Amino acid sequence: MSRYKIIVNPISGRGNGARIIPALQAHLQELGVDFDLARTERPFHAAELAQQAAADGFEVVVAVGGDGTANEVVNGLMQAKQNGRAPSVAMGVLAAGRGNDFAHNVGMPSDLRAGCQALAAGHRKKIDIGHVSGGLFPDGRYFGNSLGIGFDAVVGFEAAKMTRLTGFVSYLVAALKTIFLYYQAPQVEIEANGETMALSALMISIMNGRRQGGIFFMAPESENDDGLFDLCIAENASKARIFTLIPRFFNGSQFGQKEIRFGQTDHLLVTAVQGVLPAHVDGETLCEDGVKLEVRLLPRQLDVVCPQNQPDDS
pLDDT tens per residue, range 222-231: 999 999 999 9
Residue 151 neighbours by CB distance under 10 Å: 26
Identity (one letter) of the amino acid at 97? G
Q: Which of 209, 211, 213 is CA-nearest to residue 224?
A: 209
What mean pLDDT comes out for the span 124-129?
Answer: 97
Please state the pTM of the whole predicted model: 0.92
Helices (H), the chain: 12-19, 21-30, 45-55, 67-82, 101-105, 112-121, 151-161, 167-181, 239-245
How far is residue 292's CA from residue 274's CA, in Å, rounded to a whole number?
12
- Beta carbons of 53 and 62 less than 8 angstroms apart: no
* pLDDT one-digit tens code per residue, 75-93: 999 999 988 876 689 999 9
**How many other CB atoms sit within 10 Å of the CB of residue 195?**
9
pLDDT of amino acid 313: 46
Q: Which of 219, 293, 208, 204 is nearest to 253 (CA)?
A: 219
| % the chain with pLDDT above 90 | 75
pLDDT at 163 over 80: no
Classify domain 3-122 by CATH number: 3.40.50.10330
Q: Are strands 60-65 and 90-95 parallel, antiparallel or unpaired?
A: parallel
Q: Residues 192-201: what's their mean pLDDT?
A: 96
Q: How far is it between the farthest Cα atoms of the chain?
A: 57
User: Quick one: average pLDDT of 161-175?
Assistant: 71
Average of pLDDT values for 273-296? 93
- Among the ranges 114-128, 156-170, 181-195, which has the highest mean pLDDT value? 114-128
d(CA 213, CA 47): 22
What is the location of CATH 3.40.50.10330 in the chain?
Answer: 3-122
Report the mean per-residue pLDDT for the chain: 91
From-to residues of CATH 2.60.200.40 in the chain: 133-299
What is the CATH topology of the domain spanning 133-299?
Tumour Suppressor Smad4 (2.60.200)
CB contact at 8 A, 81 and 111: no
Contact partners, residue 141, CB within 8 Å, separation at least 6: 75, 131, 132, 133, 281, 286
Confidence at residue 172, expressed as pLDDT on a 0 to 100 scale: 75
Q: Which tens digits make up the pLDDT trace of 28-73?
A: 999 999 999 999 999 999 999 999 999 999 999 999 999 999 999 9
